[in-house]
Amino acid sequence: MIIKTQAYPRVGLIGNPSDGYFGKTIAFTFKDFCAEIELWESPELELLPSRRDHSVFPSMCDLHEDVKRHGYYGGFRLLKASCKCFLDYCNDRGIILDRRNFTMRYRSNIPGRVGLAGSSAIITACMRALMGFYNVEITRHTLANLVLSVENTELAIPAGLQDRVAQAYQGLTYMDFDQKFMDERSYGNYKSLDIEKLPPCYIAYREDLAEGTEVYHNDLRARYKRKNPEVLQAIQRWAELAEELKELLQRSEVGDRKKEVGSRKTEVGSRRTEVACPKDAPAARGGQEPIQNQLSPSSTSALEHSSTSSLPPSSTSALSHSSTSELLPSSTFALQEMHNLINENFNLRASLYDVGDGNREMVETARACGASAKFAGSGGAIVGFLKDEDTFAKLQAAFKPKGIVVLKPAIV
């Protein structure tokens, strides 16, 4: 029997990077890409390398491009460290594993080094496979901590809990890493939010900006340890932004209004269908500008959350959040406020350090098209809400000549 497990990329919607500093964040996972593990019993324990671990190249230029896109390490070290930490976890808790061996291989199509948590996705999928093979139950918050220990402790990769929590819980997750929680129980307060409340959003990334997360986090952490006033204030404000967006999502009528309008249209359509049916026909069944610039107050329409799935064949097909393009006026204000919060998150980050010309250009281009924009992670990818139904088309037209990929994520 082959065990197959998956984990999905993470988008830091708001609040990041305060997660590493007792802050608050909201993040979501989406299944347009994934990391997948396959594991089966075998006489010896064997970890199989993937294409990212290869050491044969057609030329020096190809080697150079591979390093630029994937760094000096593939996923092999992640599997090895994950297995070691899993055994440590079990030994520390008196969990005795049987003596069966296995062969494990991985594959991932998550764009590398653009802040979408591709490494932690591989580790999370690996842990899930080991849990299934050895029949070990681990709670979601503990799984997130275990994945973080692989990166922080075993591999010395600077990281916070946000990515691992988001990938352990999946969907749209609010995270409060208050120091009291962390000191008392080593994990925060995590809450799954209603995906249907989330306005239509987009993700854009460019792999030519690929850079390891440690490049962005090391300087910020050093300044945090020195108690730099600007950094401390920024961390507090990032946490407040996450809290404000959570409250807007919880009380917002954006999602509800879309569903109400959609229901009314479905009802009207059903009545029209019924009238059009011949008397002897069966009844139809219903079923199922620059960085500092803020967006214009005129944002109303909602856009469909769709996907162009590129998952491995064994994974389930991507589901999309569909919505009508009609929003009632009372939802407009909340949507605009959400745009403003997203923009402020990035503006604050850009005020602390150089985010890079390429990243800044992506954000400015998105905002010029009418979308909000901020980093999805540590750089290389951005996320934001769509202003109206035409915004995504504008993003596609603006980003394509620049070699930037843009998509509407299938949140899962």
In a domain, residue 306? The reply is no
**Domain annotation covers residue 96:** yes
Q: Is residue 264, in this structure, part of any structural domain at all?
A: no
Contacts 24+ apart (CB under 8 A), 247-252: 248/334, 248/337, 248/338, 248/341, 249/193, 249/194, 249/197, 249/198, 249/338, 250/193, 250/194, 250/197, 251/334, 252/197, 252/331, 252/334, 252/335, 252/338
Averaged over 159-183, what is the pLDDT?
Answer: 97
Q: Is residue 399, in this structure, part of any structural domain at all? A: no
Mean pLDDT for 389-397 is 95
pLDDT category at 218 given cuts 50, 70, 90 is: low
Lowest mean pLDDT among 132-136, 210-214, 244-248, 404-408: 210-214
Average pLDDT for residues 303-325, to the nearest whole number?
A: 35
The answer to which of 41-55, 154-168, 317-331, 391-405 has the lowest mean pLDDT is 317-331
Q: What is the pLDDT of residue 72?
A: 81
Q: What is the mean pLDDT of residues 258-273?
A: 42
Average pLDDT over residues 313-324: 35
Q: Which domain holds residue 79?
A: 2-195
Question: What's the confidence (pLDDT) of residue 325?
Answer: 39
Mean pLDDT, to the nearest integer, of 337-341?
Answer: 97
pLDDT in tens, 45-63: 999 998 888 788 899 998 9
CA distance 234 to 313: 43
Place 208 in a pLDDT band, splitting at 50, 70 and 90.
confident
Two tokens at 254? Answer: 């954006």
Q: Which of the four pLDDT bands, split at 50, 70 and 90, describes residue 290?
A: very low
Q: Determine the average pLDDT of the residues in 399-405.
A: 96
What is the per-residue pLDDT for 219?
82
Q: Which of the residues are catalytic?
A: 163
- CATH code for position 87: 3.30.230.10
Encoded amino acid at 340, one letter: N
Average pLDDT of the chain? 83
**Does the structure show a pLDDT above 90 at 206?**
yes
- pLDDT at position 217: 57
What is the domain count for the chain? 1
What lies within 8 Å, CB to CB, of 377 at 6+ separation is 10, 11, 12, 16, 114, 115, 116, 117, 163, 213
Residue 412 domain flag: no
Can you give the pLDDT at residue 254? 65
% residues pLDDT > 90 (the chain)? 68
Question: Does any domain span residue 57?
Answer: yes
Do 61 and 46 meet the contact criterion of CB atoms below 8 Å apart?
no
Average pLDDT over residues 209-213: 59
Q: 381 Cβ partners below 8 Å, 6+ apart?
A: 11, 111, 114, 115, 116, 203, 204, 205, 206, 375
Burial environment of residue 142 by CB neighbours within 10 A (0 to 12, 13 to 18, 19 or more): middle
Tokens of 246: 């959570």
What phi and psi values does residue 225 have, to the nearest 5 degrees?
-65, -30
**For range 13-22, the mean pLDDT:** 94
- Tokens standing for residue 176: 């409060």
Do the domain assignments include residue 215?
no
Spatial CA neighbour of 254 closest among 324, 356, 150: 324
C-beta of residue 161 within 8 angstroms of C-beta of residue 144: yes
**Domain assignment of residue 353, yes or no:** no
For residue 51, the model assigns a pLDDT of 81
Higher pLDDT, 327 or 250: 250
